[in-house]
Structure 1
Amino acid sequence: MPPTSLSPAARQWLSEAGRALSEGRADLAEQPLRRVLAEAPGFANALFLYGIACQMRGDSITAAEYLRKAAKQRPDDPSTLTTLGGALYDSGATDEAFVYLRRATELAPKQASTWYNLGKALKLHWQLDEAADALQRALNLDERHIAARNTLADIFTIRGNIPDAVAQYRKSLALQPDQAQAWQGLANLKTEPLTLADAGQIHHILQNQQLSNDDRISLGFSLYKALEDQRDYAGAFQALLEANALKRQLVQWDAVAGHGHVDAIANVFRDPSPVPLDPVLGHEVIFIASLPRSGSTLVEHILASHPLVEGANEISDLSQVLDEESKRRGKEFPHWVPDASAEDWARLGKDYLARTARWRTKRPYFTDKGLLNWQWVGAIRAMLPGAKIINCHRDPVETCFACYRQLFSEGIHFSYDLEDLASYYNDYQCLSDYWQERYPDQMLDLAYETLVQEPEAQIRRLLAFCQLPFDVACLSPHQTQREVHSTASAAQVRQPIRGDTARSPRYQDFLKPLIQRLNR
């Protein structure tokens, strides 16, 4: 039977752990919690707090293990069930997660936090109707629940309802003027101008020495946008420089290792792949291979405007297939490629198609614009020889600067330093040129600048390559109503195709180190 009381020492340890967690210091909470659990292994509150500590440091699997134990003792405690649901979702057990998250709302229907946590998970799972309903219920219960409001604004952005997104972000800022995530969301729309007053307010908030690094970074990127909108390009670049420098300190990126990985990919695919067992396997798939901020969202939106094509956005299925094969073989990709037979590649291709079947329930073709597709072209050709591949690229300086001024939600760690960006782009260009030369008939070379200057000619060329009949809707993609999961581009693709989007000329003097390193 679980203990109902603790020794004075254990109570003190539990108190220390609670204080540490309230300050965001999971590292300081774990040792006292281990001491409590050593004395009382089944003590529910210690199990609960230890689960929270594990979740805070990113170990969702261990977090779920301890939170399950706590939930067995507290089956009707909404806080425990909500926290368990979050850990389960993060660990990949989504079905079980929603059971606990929904149960928490049943137990506490008037508690805004339970509805918010359900809505957040549903949004991440792309069940946007139900997510919006849950988030609105949270706001009906507590209009000052800023996280719920910002998440609802994100959903409006994804769906192209930009006025309502702006209204929600502005409401968050009216309630909490220093709310960094609301400023970032507003700036990230890109189509909504920020004012001189906005710039002054953000600058004032940044004077607070108690800001967290994450908030300081978000506000720095927002200040860049506000100052650029005032045509203060020197001030804007300085804000961008400081925000990127701080972000770079917090992420891990090894340009030398990245270059070696790209070289290894090119080397293993120099020898011909085995003759495919089924040369049309994967004919349903249109891969878009590009760097971020290179026009890939526009290309996908054009294709998804066609009645036969579903836009799947940046899906992770190909990455999962290759990762699982690497684990099975005990070798990292691409080092197992020389050992793969035609049967192996066909198996992997069929696995990918099975995983992505959800994208073909309404339309026969779908797009995959995973951010590492440019590295995996050789594998795509071997796995799915019938697939189409679009090599979408943009001016090197524009691409790198577009990445540099974007605060990404996760990954893309090469983008916070101009030297890292130049190195990454050079690797991308070398490998893409290699693929284009090796697979000229299976890979369409599509330049963003040509697309926006000659939209009809290039769109017809794109559709012909994909063996799709011409459809006039593809010429007006901004009128297409669909969910665009890349919030960095979601507002921009709702506008007519424009040829005047270049930003780097305004910053030429500041970008000289980048320009000098590109294509060296």
Structure 2
Amino acid sequence: MNEPITRSVGQVLDQALQRQKQGDVEFAYKTYRQVLAQYPEHPLALHYLGLVAQQVGRGMDAEKLLRRSIELAPDDPRTHNHLGQVLVSQGRLSDAIASFRRALQVDATHADSANNLANALAESGEATAAIDLYRRLLESQPRSAAVLYNLANALKNDRDFEQAAAHYAKAIECQPTHLLAHLNLAMLSEQMGRFEAAADHYLAVLQQAPDHSRALSALLSIPGYEPEAAQVQAATRLLAGKDLESEERVRLHSGVGKYLDRRQEFDQAFDHFTAANSVLSRRCAPYDPRETTEQFDRIIRTFSADYFAKLPARAAQGEHFIFIVGMPRSGTTLTEQILASHPAVYSAGESRALPELVKGFGHAYPEALDGMPAAQLDESARRYQSAIEQHATPDAQRVIDKLHLNFMQLGLIATLFPGARVIHCQRDPLDTGLSCFIERFDLQRDFTSNLLSFGHYFLQYQRLMRHWRAVLPLRMRELQYETLISNQEEQTRALLAYLDLPWDSRCLQFHTTPSVVRTPSRWQVRQAMYTSSIGRWRNYAAHLQPLQRLLEEGKHETAGPTQ
């Protein structure tokens, strides 16, 4: 191809690319094919045709075309960058990272490749490397809202919440209409207890997108915020439509229900909570009582008194670990916030470290633990400890793991960390069941979206806790939610004594402790102790009668012995 023809073809391709960007994909496709019919090895035509293939959902064809373009013209960073984006869409992060890095080897100043590399590193869990790269990008693009927003996301995932909030705010300063920055800052502000700021940013989202279901539902849910009539009407209108995504429908039903609950319109509120749970139940496998019973049976059979009697002595004792367990909405977050207000305590929140260990044991768990060599147990303990302590402060004497459903894993905890301490939180089961029904949880076995499913699960949980009390060689303190609410200082002193920690009055001011709370309790733990949550179920008594009968037939316990 001589120079004049190449220049002419280049102009044709660039014009077609502009038409493609404007949405005329068919014109672009025909143009690229015409060029390739005359020049089958034209790298730019292959490259742009690869972009069309990616755009219409033919990722494998896109990859082949881009790789062939790279073979012919390996020094174009754009092609490496676009190949990386195709690989990201296929979930091949490590291959994508390699492509973005090759683009930067060709041209170290190629900003799109650097930003995409940072995004891929963040998605693959390499937070530190991603954050460093975003910061380098900001040196040359200090007013880039996109880079600031991506850096904020990475900082949030790395648990640097204050810096994340600051960078979301700076992204908004650079681009006031950055909807996702407003939305993410609103959600983070909620978790940090800054509810007024959260409301402001949700309102900023609604100014751009008045029917934004996430912002609408959040505004309706925030305690202390009085929504405008137009906002309630917008939520109601959206729910009456047929085109709403199921996730949006769940959020809006939940938000309207909480708004009506605050207005003490309890029957109407319950209708919305029921509708939200009805949608949720259609999106996942139904709760299986038999499967749950069999799972609890296996735990009880495996972790017998004989099992613990023959456990080998081990080096890893875990005296500094505190496991706060119990049913969802039983006071675990409140207990965590009280203890995390002590300067010697660090909380890892609802860590996934223990479930990941269990997942690693495979389907043979829990039976696989019986007779497992001490060396293998020690390695499991080290993996857990490394995961749970990666963000702990150097002066932390106690480390909290507050994943409430770890009550199922107390046998594993006793096996790996015989020196650990357990706080078992309990609450009136009717209040617990109602609160679970109102809130949303990401559970493998969703027992919360149906009150009778909750009742069955609750009775199985009680059966397992009775077993643990009989056989578990761990220090375990039972904590009744209602008692904690009524006697805050007395119970707090008792908890600190149980943990061998000195008294610190900051624990009484837990609601002022700076922290990020990602659970549904994020509003409650930002307030001083209040008693209105006790007996809340009576507002919905007529709707809870089937659950009440089931629990009475199961002869539920309200508390176990305090040690």
Q: 1:355 to 1:70 in 2, by over 3 A?
A: closer
Is 1:159 matched up with 2:192? yes
Name the counterpart of 2:367: 335
Mark the runs of 5 or more structure 1 residues left unpaired by the alignment.
20-28
Is 1:186 matched up with 2:219? yes
Q: Counterpart of 1:91 in structure 2: which amino acid?
A: S
TM-score, scaled relative to structure 2: 0.79
1:224 offset after TM fit, Å?
1.0
- 1:18 corresponds, among 55, 66, 69, to 55
Matches within 5 A, 1:54-69: 54=90, 59=91, 62-66=92-96, 68-69=98-99
Name the counterpart of 2:27: none
Name the counterpart of 1:485: 517
Is 1:50 matched up with 2:83? no
Is 1:36 matched up with 2:62? yes
Matches within 5 A, 1:419-458: 419-439=452-472, 442-458=475-491
- 1:142 corresponds, among 144, 164, 175, to 175
**In structure 2, what is the Cα distance between the partners aligned to 1:133 and 1:42?**
43
Name the counterpart of 2:236: 203
CA RMSD of aligned residues (A): 3.0
**In structure 2, what is the Cα distance between the partners aligned to 1:336 and 1:408?**
29
**In structure 2, what is the Cα distance between the partners aligned to 1:475 and 1:38?**
63
> Are the aligned partners of 2:325 and 2:403 in contact in 1 as well (CA < 8 Å)?
yes
Q: 1:408 to 1:176 in 2, by over 3 A?
A: farther
1:377 offset after TM fit, Å?
0.6
Offset from partner CA, 1:143-164 (integer Å, 9 cap, x none) = 1222211222233233333322
> Are the aligned partners of 1:157 and 1:487 in contact in 2 as well (CA < 8 Å)?
no
Offset from partner CA, 1:153-192 (integer Å, 9 cap, x none) = 2332333333222222233233332222223433454454
Is 1:5 matched up with 2:37? no
1:376 offset after TM fit, Å?
0.8
> Are the aligned partners of 2:333 and 2:519 in contact in 1 as well (CA < 8 Å)?
no
SS in 2 for 1:336: helix
Q: 1:343 to 1:435 in 2, by over 3 A?
A: same
> Are the aligned partners of 1:50 and 1:63 in contact in 2 as well (CA < 8 Å)?
no
Q: 1:189 to 1:126 in 2, by over 3 A?
A: farther
**In structure 1, what is the Cα distance between the partners aligned to 2:68 and 2:303?**
55
Q: 1:51 to 1:400 in 2, by over 3 A?
A: farther
Is 1:301 matched up with 2:337? yes
Q: Counterpart of 1:306 in structure 2: which amino acid?
A: H
Q: Counterpart of 2:235 in structure 1: which amino acid?
A: I
**In structure 1, what is the Cα distance between the partners aligned to 2:432 and 2:133?**
43
Q: 1:83 to 1:245 in 2, by over 3 A?
A: farther
Q: Counterpart of 1:69 in structure 2: which amino acid?
A: S
1:505 offset after TM fit, Å?
1.7
Identical positions, percent: 27
- 2:404 corresponds, among 356, 371, 381, to 371
Name the counterpart of 1:283: 319
TM-score, scaled relative to structure 1: 0.85
**In structure 1, what is the Cα distance between the partners aligned to 2:322 and 2:103?**
50
Greater relative CO, 1 or 2 (CA 8 Å, sep 6+): 1
**In structure 2, what is the Cα distance between the partners aligned to 1:210 and 1:320?**
37
Structure 1 stretch 348-357 or stretch 375-384: which is displaced more? 348-357
Q: Counterpart of 1:66 in structure 2: which amino acid?
A: A
Structure 1 stretch 413-422 or stretch 116-125: which is displaced more? 413-422
- 1:471 corresponds, among 492, 501, 504, to 504
Q: 1:247 to 1:458 in 2, by over 3 A?
A: same
> Are the aligned partners of 1:115 and 1:138 in contact in 2 as well (CA < 8 Å)?
yes
**In structure 2, what is the Cα distance between the partners aligned to 1:313 and 1:267?**
30
**In structure 2, what is the Cα distance between the partners aligned to 1:483 and 1:15?**
46
Is 1:258 matched up with 2:254? no
1:107 offset after TM fit, Å?
5.5
Mark the runs of 5 or more structure 2 residues left unpaired by the alignment.
1-40, 70-78, 555-563
Q: Counterpart of 1:257 in structure 2: which amino acid?
A: E
